[in-house]
Every structure is written in structure tokens, then in C-alpha cells.
Structure 1
């Protein structure tokens, strides 16, 4: 059934969907979401499976598709005429890439905030494997553990207080450091599962306009690796934020919200 947009809908506020990274939740966008809502935008901050306040434990989320399903369900529920700006932070870049592959007609733009950005010629695990191979992140007290003796479930991952303070949130306030450390949950990078997936396609994911926001003081996904991803898979626009660590959501929320507001104005 074809649905028309309500009269005047085009002039209404834009809908932006903010997707968190591994071990985090929709809560991590609290500063950015508040600013965007105050400016009149519609903002969604879904919790991915086994994240935030989602009740499932990680062992009930065996695949990356399962992990992404709350985001996919949100897009599927949108009216036919509605497009959203999808924003992914860190591992959330792979979630929004999968969403753009499945629902390209519903995505006005995909925005990667110092995020892993798959290309359309390699399995989606490729950028994650390159990142790990590059050894640009000192994982410090991050815990990686098998979830089951057979190795069928994804390897779990939990960031420890040392790596959060030194490499993720070195420019954040002590309050945000406390908040982040309190709300972290066991997650996964799902590399083994993503290695089995076909590349996302030029005709679907590749057709969606893309913006990469470079966070110049990121010690987790360092600037050189962010630039490598952009060179590996060129985007429509590159923005930069000085003084932004990996959790730019905390350390530079006004600048990040401003970038996102500009994108919503430009890509519809």
C-alpha cells in the first residue's frame, strides 16, 4: 500500500537515529540527543540487543544480525515516506551499514562518527580485522572471553576502567567517566560472524550517501585509521572535530550535535 506523507511533513523536523558502540547503549548519546531535541529534531537512541536496558544477555545474541535487530525493527516500522539520518559511533558504524544495506530507501544519509565503516567489496569484518592487525589500540585491561566451550557463540568483550580512562575518555569529565564505567555491559565485535557475511552491495548500501566525522584526538580508533577507512571507501563528505576523543558524544557534544544538525539540513 502506498502511503503519502502528511501535508506539510517535509517542513517538519527531521528524524535522526543515533546508534551506540560496543558495550554501550542508547544512554551514551544523552548529551547529543538533548541538544538535537532542544533544536526541534526527532531523535531515536535505540538499545541494540544485549545493550543498554535491553534485557537479553549476550549469549542470547549469537549473530551480528541478532545484535542489530532492534535497529532493523525500528527502520521497518517507519512509514513508507519517512527517511532518517542514521548515525553510528565506533562499532555502530557496522550496524548502520547493515541497516543501510537492508533499507536503503529509508536512509537519507549514513553518518560514521569515528566509526568502523565497511566497504562494498569485502566482508564486513574486513575493517575490524585491519584495525586489530594494525595494533594502534592498547587494549590494556579489556577482557576477551569465550562464551561457550565449543566456540559457537561470539567472543565476549568488556572494556576495563584503565582502557576507558586512557584511550576512550581521556578528554571526558570525571562524571562522564563514572557514568560510562557504571553502565558498560559485556559486548562483542562479532568478527567471526561478520567474516561469514557477503559484502554489502553497491546497489543498496553503496547507494546511500555517507558522511564521516573524524575525531582528531581519538586514541581508540586513531585518526590515521579513520583516514584509512575513508580512503578505502570514499564518502560524500568528511567533517572533523578537534579536541574530540573516542567518546566525542561526551567530550565534544555541542560540536558533534552541530555537525549532525548541518547534515540533517543538507541530506534529505
Structure 2
């Protein structure tokens, strides 16, 4: 985002199995307020034509985001200098000392506890009942929309994930991070609290009464 308030540029990145479509409410609010907004589909998401079997690494999945960041004008910030603040909304937030793989392993441990349901859906779209755990506080029509538009996400091995998602203190660590905690997240609230504790952001903001899909 640029530093001038009237030139702030919000890049909206969706979560697993979703697409740019999930930001339709927030994007409308931001553009109505005069901000520049770009929402994009990661590979195999939304209306992106690629299928899961077309991807060979997690880098292939987030390539559209890297291409977008590289295309921003020279008078906009360059990444990591192109990013004024990274906002994580109930999302995996790694750090140089707490990798995506570590977070994934912790999620596995949480789901292995008695009474916890496994929620991974690699290679298949989440079923309506599992989606309902993400949208339990959202308007029912938004859940209906999601059941029509979610797509499978690929599974990538630990070696690939360690290599392609590693972050450094020099670059990643130079960007301010804000975490949005949804206090009624029925899907990942326990993991989110663990992430905040183990990868402390610059600021934590809580949205009372919000489920995992805060943008809805």
C-alpha cells in the first residue's frame, strides 16, 4: 500500500479452497470508500483455469500473487518494501522461527485430540457440513454461495513446504504484521491462539462474534 491515505492499495488474498469471490463484500466497502483494491485467485482457485494435478509445488499455487506483486508500479512499494502491513485474518501466519510446516504439525496435534474433528480436505472440496464450521455465524446465503464455488486444494510434501514457504527476518521480518482474531472461529480458533503466541505479530485485533469467514 502507498503511504498516502487516498492511494492505499489493498491486496486481498483468499484462504484454502476459496477464491477472490469471497471478498465481494469487503472489496465493495473498500472501493466505495475510495481505496484501490485488488482481489485475485491463486492457482486452481476461483475462476483460475488450472486444476490441482497441474501444480507441482506450493510455489505454483501462490505464483499469481508473486506475479501481481512484481507488476506493481515503481512508485508503489516493492516487496517486501511494497507492503506497508500484512494482515492475517484467522490465517496461518509463519515467522522465521515458526514455519508453515511447524504450524501444520501443530494443527495435526490439535485435531488428534479426543473430540476434535479432522478438517483437512487436500485434493477434494470441503463438504457442506465442514464448510458450515467455517460459516457458522455468517448469513446462510453466503454458505450456500461457498458450496457452489469452493475448489480442491493440492497437497504438497514437507520438503517442498519447508523450501518454498521459508521466511527470513531480513525481508519478511521487516514487514509489520497484524493478526485479526475471530473469537467464534469454529474451525481454527485454538490454532490461531497458538500461532499468536509462537509468532507474535505487531498487533492483534479481535472481531467479537465473528466466525472463520470474517470477510462475510
Given the two structures, how large is their TM-score scaled by the length of structure 2? 0.90
Q: Which runs of 4+ in 1 moved over 2 A?
A: 9-13, 121-124, 188-193, 195-199
Equivalent position SS for 1:240: strand
Cα root mean square deviation, aligned: 2.1
> Structure 1 residue 234 and structure 2 residue 200: aligned?
yes
Given candidates 169, 173, 190, the residue that maps to 2:135 is 169
Given candidates 127, 135, 155, the residue that maps to 2:103 is 127
Q: Aligned pairs, how many? A: 211
Q: Is the 8 A contact 2:86 2:176 kept in 1?
A: yes
Distance 2:213 2:157 in 1: 22
Q: Is the 8 A contact 1:211 1:239 kept in 2?
A: yes
Q: Is the 8 A contact 1:63 1:190 kept in 2?
A: yes
Q: Name 2:73's counterpart in structure 1.
A: 79
CA offset at residue 11 of structure 1?
5.2
Equivalent position SS for 1:104: coil
Q: Name 1:53's counterpart in structure 2.
A: 47
Gap runs ≥5 in structure 2? none
Q: Name 1:100's counterpart in structure 2.
A: none
- The C-alpha deviation readout for 1:92-128, integer Å capped at 9, x for no partner, is xxxxxxxxxxx21111111110000111024432112
Q: Name 1:215's counterpart in structure 2.
A: 182
Given candidates 29, 34, 43, the residue that maps to 2:28 is 34
CA offset at residue 62 of structure 1?
1.4
Distance 1:190 1:232 in 2: 23
Q: What aligned pairs does 1:173-188 form with structure 2 within 5 A after superposition?
A: 173-188=139-154
Q: Name 1:225's counterpart in structure 2.
A: 191
Higher RCO structure (Cα 8 Å, ≥6 apart): 2
Distance 1:113 1:198 in 2: 18
CA offset at residue 191 of structure 1?
5.1
